[in-house]
Amino acid sequence: MKTQRFGIEIEITGITRAKAAQIAVEFFGVGARLEHKGGTYDEYRVITQDGRSWKFVSDASILPHKKEYGRIVTADRDYSVELVSPILTYEDIETLQELVRQLRHAGALSDSKYQCGIHIHVDAKKHTPLSLKNLINLMASKEDLLYKSLEIDPARLRYCKKVNENLITTINKKKPKTLEALADIWYSGFGQENRSRHYHNSRYHGLNLHSVFDKGTVEFRLFNGTTHAGKIKAYIQFCLAVSHQAISQKSASARRTYTDNEKYTFRCWMLRLGLIGEEFETCRHHFLASLSGNSAWRNAA
């Protein structure tokens, strides 16, 4: 699980792109430099001593706001900020968390009411058509509980729809052996839309495989925006765990899970994903907090 590389996109407002980039270059310190690339997305880029780039770009979906005289008020597009990380490893999570804390201390806001979300990309290099089928089935089987756990804002659901039922049926019937065959199934139902489009309409699912074919990553688009560093770490750990499980298993069922004890059922699933022990205690806490039931007892009174 921990050997998988990933990237993250965090949508924020409350501060400008210029300020966010300045905070980042100061945070990374010696050897870091700031470049204003401009362009369509008014890109600011912070290049660290190891050569990696952290980008701060505009995102049209964000509702920009700022704090003024103790009140949150609407703001101009300079306050629309998407932080795009470079390729990261598990050891980079603490650095990411501290950067997010610095942005929050400077006034950054990230919440679904500002149409902010978090997208996590996991390197698809180790995935095969079989493991991607497993991933679709794993997500489908628990997605009702998962969406409740994450309290996904209804206004964001059009950007992170649940797994397409036709996709589930077809992929399990045809069992594609190549990525090309899997892509044919993924894009079916989208007419003549060019598959090479970055903003292809098939991407707007909680589990986005268009990203696999477009840039070689599995994208998870499920998460409401937040500047809570602990939640962000939990989201990353979950994505890495479910991706690893899909790669490791020989098969997975898409059968939906129904339960009268949500906490217990979801906790058991997290343990099967490898999110067990003290290291992942906070991860389990964040994912179970919004579910009903008792996490310790299957038939608790």
pLDDT tens sequence across 209-238: 999 999 999 999 999 999 999 999 999 999
Residue 300 binned pLDDT confidence (cut-offs 50, 70, 90): low
Containing 235, the helix (H) or strand (E) segment is helix 229-248
Is 0.85 surpassed by the pTM of this model? yes
DSSP state of 58: -
Taking the CA of residue 222 as centre, how many other CA atoms within 13 Å lie in the half-sphere pointing to its CB? Answer: 24
- Say whether pLDDT at 281 is over 60: yes
On whether the 6-110 domain is CATH 1.10.940, my answer is no
Burial, 250: exposed, middle or buried (Cβ in 10 Å; 0-12, 13-18, 19+)?
exposed
pLDDT tens, residue by residue, 100-124: 999 999 999 999 999 999 999 999 9
**Which residues of the chain does CATH 3.30.310 include?**
6-110
Containing 184, the helix (H) or strand (E) segment is helix 179-187
How many whole angstroms separate alpha carbon 81 and alpha carbon 146?
Answer: 27
More confident residue, 193 or 144: 144
Residues 6+ apart with CB under 8 A from 135: 127, 207, 218, 242, 243, 246, 252
Rounded to the nearest angstrom, the gap between the alpha carbon of residue 149 and the centroid of all alpha carbons in its chain is 14
